Every structure is written in C-alpha cells, then in structure tokens.
Amino acid sequence: MFTLSAFLSYVIAVTFSPGPNNLMSMISSSKSGYRKTLPFIMGVTTGFFFLVMVSTYFNRGLFALVPQFQIGMKILGSLYMSYLALKIMGIDVIGILSHKKTTKNFQVLYGFKAGMILQFINPKAILYALTVVSAYVVPYYSTHTHYLLFSIFLAFMAFLSNTTWALFGQFLNRFISKYEKQFNSVMAFLLLYSAYALW
C-alpha cells in the first residue's frame, strides 16, 4: 500500500540534503544572485524530470544493469564532481574554462545546459530517481498519467530545493563575499565529499 507520509519523508530528506545540485545553486547565487542562477535551476528541474520519466519506464531493466552501470556512474560522477570542486576553488583543470569571472564561463558552469546534463552524470540523482520510482511509484501505479504527475511533482521538489539553497546563498552574499576563499574551499570540500562518499 502506498504510504504518502513515507513517500514525502523520503523525497524531502533526499531532495533537500546537500548534493551537487544544491551546492552549485548556492555557490552560483552567492556570486551572481538568484536571477542569474535561475537558468541552472531550471536545467536541474528539466533534467531531473526526464531522469524520473526514464527511470519510471525502464526501472526494471536499469536495476538489472545496476551492478555494472553503478560502477561506471560512480567513476564518471566522482570525476565530474571533483572537476566542479576544483573549478570552484579557481583551479583550471584542463584549460577549457578560465578562473576569470566572465559571463561565458558563468554560463558554461551554471547555465541551463550544465544543470540539465549534471542530472545524468550525478549518481545521487540517478540512484534517487531509481529508488523513489521503484519503491513508491511503479508498484502502486501503472498509468501514463500517474507517471507524468509523479515526475512533475519530483521535478518541482528539485526546483524548490535548489531555489531554497540558492536563496540561502544570496542571503549570505555579504558574508560569503568577505570570506570568499574560505567559503569556496568549504563548498569544494563538500562537493569532494559528495563525490567520494559514493565509494
């Protein structure tokens, strides 16, 4: 039997906990404000919607592949999150992006496309989508309408979570600006922790 309280508790705990999406939203907003962070948040929301839809329709097949698939995603996700952490600290890893704060670099790192792509190489998002769908959606619902509504709801929760973290970053902008180096180091460490806690 579907238990709404258990479903909501799981969704809120996982969605609002620190992770690459939330940390990137907070960092972006602390540097450039919520309006410029909104494309990234919308990218996260859109990407997560599609991720949940894919997980819903293919969860059985994906779960069969998880032992092999999970290792590859851990490697790719850990490397990408580590790359983001180094970028936050101002280290130009492969020369694609400069540490200078230009509009182009901001759009590449925090734009809509970056937010959307992040969902498909973020092990936390992938495993969350797989587990929430297999535990709370597919066993109890079987219509396309239900799948669509659950995907919209979960994407909306992702939007709320990233917005909350972004507003938190903007609210603390003055403090963060004063201690930018220390703040970036802490955020980079949390991203690295998110990456290597997967192992």
Flag whether pLDDT at 152 surpasses 90.
yes
Find the mean pLDDT for residues 82-97.
61
Please give the structure tokens belonging to residue 59. Answer: 């969860």
Q: Of residues 5 and 173, which shows the higher confidence score?
A: 5
Name the pLDDT band for 96 (thresholds 50, 70, 90): very low
Q: In this predicted structure, what is the pLDDT of residue 27?
A: 87
Name the pLDDT band for 138 (thresholds 50, 70, 90): confident
Please give the structure tokens belonging to residue 64. Answer: 């069969």
Q: In this predicted structure, what is the pLDDT of residue 68?
A: 62
Flag whether pLDDT at 43 surpasses 90.
yes
C-alpha distances in angstroms, 138 versus 15, 118, 163? 20, 25, 28
Find the mean pLDDT for residues 74-102.
60
Q: In this predicted structure, what is the pLDDT of residue 63?
A: 54
Flag whether pLDDT at 52 surpasses 60.
yes
Find the mean pLDDT for residues 102-110.
56
| Residues 6 or more apart whose Cβ sits within 8 Å of residue 189 | 85
Q: In this predicted structure, what is the pLDDT of residue 102?
A: 47
Find the mean pLDDT for residues 150-172.
93
Find the mean pLDDT for residues 118-140.
84
| Residues 6 or more apart whose Cβ sits within 8 Å of residue 102 | none
* Cα(138)–Cα(135) distance, integer angstroms: 7
Which residue intervals of 89-179 are DSSP H helices?
A: 103-110, 112-119, 123-136, 144-171, 173-178
DSSP annotation of 137 reads T
* Cα(89)–Cα(97) distance, integer angstroms: 13
Q: In this predicted structure, what is the pLDDT of residue 93?
A: 45
Would residue 90 be called left, alpha or beta, if left means φ above 0 and alpha means ψ between -120 and 50 degrees?
left
* Cα(97)–Cα(103) distance, integer angstroms: 11
To which H or E segment does residue 44 belong? helix 34-88
Q: Is the pTM of this model over 0.85?
A: no
Q: In this predicted structure, what is the pLDDT of residue 106?
A: 53
Mean per-residue pLDDT over the chain, rounded: 79
Q: In this predicted structure, what is the pLDDT of residue 98?
A: 43
Flag whether pLDDT at 60 surpasses 80.
no
Length of the chain: 199
- Phi and psi, residue 139, nearest 5°: -65, -20
